[in-house]
Amino acid sequence: MSAQILITAKEVHELIPLELTSMGYTVHHLPEPSESELIDIISAYEGLIITTYTQVNKNIIDKASQLKFIGRVGSGLENVDIEYAESKRIKVLSSPEGNCNAVGEHTLGLLLNLMNKISKAHHEVTQGIWKREENRGEELDNKTVGIIGLGHTGSAFAKKLRGFDVKILAYDKFRTNYGTDFIQESSMEEIAEQADVISFHIPYSKENFHIINTVFLSSLKKIPYLIHTCRGEVMDTQAVVEALESNKIKGLGIDVYEDEPWTKGQKVSTDIYKQLLSKENVVATPHIAGWTVESKIKLATVLLDKIKML
């Protein structure tokens, strides 16, 4: 009997099961199983393909007696106990290279939308409201953009900015000597002091929980636009609502939330989300920054290449 791989991702590119089958694996698909369902069956599998919504914790890993690898279609691995998995000689793979360009483009789209009041004006026009002066925008040229996290997506966003006459400040705690001809290596403090735009591109970890908080927002010297396309729990939603209301930030472009969908209201009250999303200077999308036609196949290809190298 051939080795078996379980795909728990709700939607994956058809290339993944096709290629895995051609590699000699038997592939099963069980979209978003509960923890107990996964515990019951995981011992049969040598490979596990997941996305954001499958938690692979110690309980599951302990039952995964044959598991050789966990493949994440995407970038974030906060839903996998990586250290414990690797202690059991289970390889943990992800494919952030596959959707970083999509996230970079989406981040720029959120920013330009905010600065030019596109969503607000669109809504008004559909209601027969014609306001020009009230929707006067700002140009990105001659602004200072702060990028926090210069990995795959942060670098992709910086690349998209090359067509604008902007100053780019970047901070990445895991890198050194990453300055280039168009990126100035900086600190969080320098970004808080100088930036007209601040965009977060960091992974989630306990250390990064609510790093966008009251303390950080109070440290801002300008009134910047804030763009949030990384991981929901990086941002304290209540703190950002208060920052918008006290004019500490000029606007928010957001793609990720502490609850997904926000209507779950398990970590943050739905009333707080409603307060946030009702504001005219907030542009929100449903965790789709890395979700393009092109990225779907890129994510699959990158992950498959890594599996083939095992």
Tell me what percent of the residues of the chain surpass a pLDDT of 70: 100
Q: Annotated catalytic, 287?
A: yes
- The tens digit of pLDDT for each residue in 191-221 reads 999 999 999 999 998 999 999 999 999 999 9
What burial letters (b/e) apply to 186-220, b meaning 16+ CB within 10 Å?
bebeebbbbbbbbbbbbbbeeebebbbbeebbeeb
* CATH superfamily of the domain spanning 4-95+293-308: NAD(P)-binding Rossmann-like Domain (3.40.50.720)
- The tens digit of pLDDT for each residue in 135-182 reads 999 999 999 999 999 999 999 999 999 999 999 999 999 999 999 999
Q: Where are the domains of the chain?
A: 4-95+293-308, 100-284
68 conformational bin, left if phi > 0, alpha if psi -120 to 50, beta if neither: alpha
Asked if residue 193 lies in contact with residue 168, where contact means CB atoms within 8 angstroms, the answer is: no
Cα distance between residue 219 and residue 243, in whole Å: 11
pLDDT score at 1? 63
**Does 4-95+293-308 match 100-284 in CATH topology?**
yes
184 alpha-carbon distance from chain centroid: 23
- pLDDT at residue 52 is higher than 90: no
Q: Annotated catalytic, 78?
A: no
Cα distance between residue 113 and residue 294, in whole Å: 22
Q: Which of 138, 190, 193, 260 is catalytic?
A: 260
pLDDT score at 75? 84
pLDDT score at 78? 87
Output the average pLDDT for the chain: 96
298 alpha-carbon distance from chain centroid: 16
Cis peptide before 33 (omega within 30 of 0): no
Asked if residue 201 lies in contact with residue 153, where contact means CB atoms within 8 angstroms, the answer is: yes
Q: Annotated catalytic, 132?
A: no
Q: Which of 13, 105, 231, 258 is catalytic?
A: 231
Query: Terminal CA-to-CA distance of the chain, rounded, Å?
Result: 20
Domain covering 100-284: architecture: 3-Layer(aba) Sandwich (3.40)
pLDDT score at 10? 85
